[in-house]
Amino acid sequence: MNLPLFLARGVAKGGGRSISRTIIGIAVVAVAISMATMVLASALISGFKTEISVKIFGFWGHIHITEERAANDIMLTSDYPISTKQDFYPGLKETGSIVYREFNDPFGGEQVEEKTTRGGIRHIQQFILLPGIISVFHEGERLADTEPLVLKGIAEDFAWSDFDQYLIEGDRLEVTPDSTSRTILISNSTARRLKIGVGDRVDFVYFSGLREEKTRAFTVGGIYKTGLEEYDSKFAIVDIKQLRRLLNWRDDEVGGFEVALDDIDDLDAFSNYIHYDVLPQDLYADSIRNKLRELFNWLDIQDYNGIIILILVVLVAVINMMTALLILILERTNMIGTLKALGQDNWNIRKIFLYYAGFIVIVGLLLGNLIGLGLAWVQKTFGIVQLDEESYYLAVAPIRLEWLTIIGLNVGTFVVILLFLILPSYLVTKIDPVKAIRFK
């Protein structure tokens, strides 16, 4: 029989004085609030990173393949065309999981570990980017208001399944091999600034050579909104053949290829694999993380914010539990003295209170999970918490529950709190049995 556990159950069922019950209640609430906060914080941070990453990759893909001289600036791709007649195109999309090497440097010693990617390559598509000026054409005349805009040319291999979620008005851009579409998809922010909508005409002006002006007229066929205002305001989507004509390129020339992966965690592995093992010497592969480094650095900072939140809320729970345990020990001084007189050693008596504290922590964790998961479900279902989309890239606070993370938070919180409670339980060793039995 586990005597400390048996006595801990008896102490828990026996209750205590009003002040100890109040302190225990506060401790349970503190643990519950801490757990609920951790569940919500982890769900929000994971949701932010996932939703924003999906938006970026839905527009840009995961990896860009360009001419080597345009590697550092994707806007230079309009100066350095590459041919679509490549050994990897379009067969690269059939690539499944790959084995790669990860180099670690623990304590100054180099270590190589072989790993397998979680997924493979899902899609590859052509693109051309061309900067110019756009203006509104109204009642037979071009209006004076103009602004810079970058046209992204897409081909028939464009992954509409990734982009359809952002279309808020109009239809897809129909791109076929046998015809050239004069339709343009613009962002919601561009439509607001230019005060235009579906069916209106816009003129795009491209300056080539010695300021030679080339103009193309387009009809707005659809309006999209990714929520990434900084990028929505700068780009529009057209048929890739229109841009080939403006640039005087051959039918097999493009600015580059966008590669989409099954799993974002494979980004670095596939970026290196494509660059070193697939591409010819004159082409370069780089991940979108390197090209949009500031945005991804902002996302990475959210991890640090999450860690700080976790530390603070666990600290609050630990302090409250330590206080509760000290009060419980002082309240049971007479019992401790009696057990010592009967021959129980200090560690067994300390375990009684640690078991009791464990019961309290478990109740707090269960209550905290119930509150945290409940609030997460409410937010995910009804979207109660709204955000400023221009500042946060999202209109509603996103929720993404990762069950392994939640289990880890519960187990980690339970272990950390109990480890910290070993210190106040040391008070048991300072209680003299003779004085304790006399204590009333």
**pLDDT tens per residue, range 277-313:** 999 989 999 988 887 777 777 777 877 888 888 888 8
Q: Is the peptide bond before 90 cis (omega within 30 degrees of 0)?
A: yes
Contact 396, 384 (CB under 8 A): no
Residue 150: pLDDT band (50, 70, 90) is: very high
Q: Is residue 71 part of a domain?
A: no
Dist. CA 414–CA 333, nearest whole Å: 26
Do residues 145 and 41 share a domain?
Answer: no
Identify the burial level of 194 via C-beta atoms within 10 angstroms of its C-beta, where 0-12 means exposed, 13-18 middle and 19 or more buried. Answer: buried
Q: Which residue range forms the structural domain that includes residue 221?
A: 126-260
Q: Give residue 19's pLDDT.
A: 65
Same domain, yes or no: 309 and 428: yes
Q: Which helix (H) or strand (E) holds 375?
A: helix 346-382
**Is 287 part of a structural domain of the chain?**
no
What are the DSSP calls for 173-212, one per residue?
---BTTB---EEEEEHHHHHHHT--TT-EEEEEEEETTTE
Q: What are φ and ψ of residue 170, in 5° steps?
A: 85, -160
On whether both 304 and 396 belong to a single domain, the answer is: yes
Choose one of 232, 260, 288: the last residue of a domain: 260
pLDDT classification of 242: cutoffs 50, 70, 90? very high
Residue 203 is encoded by which pair of tokens? Answer: 């003129």
Q: Closest by alpha carbon to 146, among 113, 194, 114, 76?
A: 194
Q: Do the Cβ atoms of 357 and 31 come closer than 8 Å?
A: no
DSSP for 228-281, written as a single string: -HHHHTTEEEEEHHHHHHHHT--TTEESEEEEEES-GGGHHHHHHHIIIIIS-T
Co-location of 172 and 248 in the same domain: yes
Together in a domain, 247 and 300? no
pLDDT score of 361 more than 60: yes
- Structurally, the chain folds into a number of domains equal to 2
Q: Above pLDDT 70, what percent of the chain?
A: 88
Burial 72-97 (b: 16+ CB within 10 A, else e): eebeebbeebbebebebbeebbebee
Provide the CB-side half-sphere exposure for 209 (13 A, CA). 7
Output the furthest CA–CA distance in the chain (Å, rounded).
104
Does residue 229 contact residue 393 with C-beta atoms inside 8 Å? Answer: yes
Closest CA to 81 of 124, 130, 121: 130
Q: Is the pLDDT of residue 137 over 80?
A: no
Tokens representing 262 are 């099954």
Contact status, residue 214 vs residue 205, Cβ threshold 8 Å: yes
The C-alpha atoms of residue 38 and residue 44 are separated, in whole angstroms, by: 10
- The residues with which 129 forms a beta bridge, in sequence order, are 152
Tell which of 260, 282, 313 closes a domain: 260
Average pLDDT, the chain: 84
- Would you say residue 38 lies in a domain? yes
3-state secondary structure (DSSP) of residue 398? coil
Residue 145: which of 182, 208, 195 has the closest Cα?
Answer: 195
Same domain? 406 vs 304:
yes
The answer to whether residues 218 and 300 belong to one domain is no
Range with the largest mean pLDDT of 16-20, 74-78, 177-181: 177-181
What is the pLDDT, as a whole number, of residue 436?
59
Cβ 31 vs Cβ 361: under 8 Å: yes
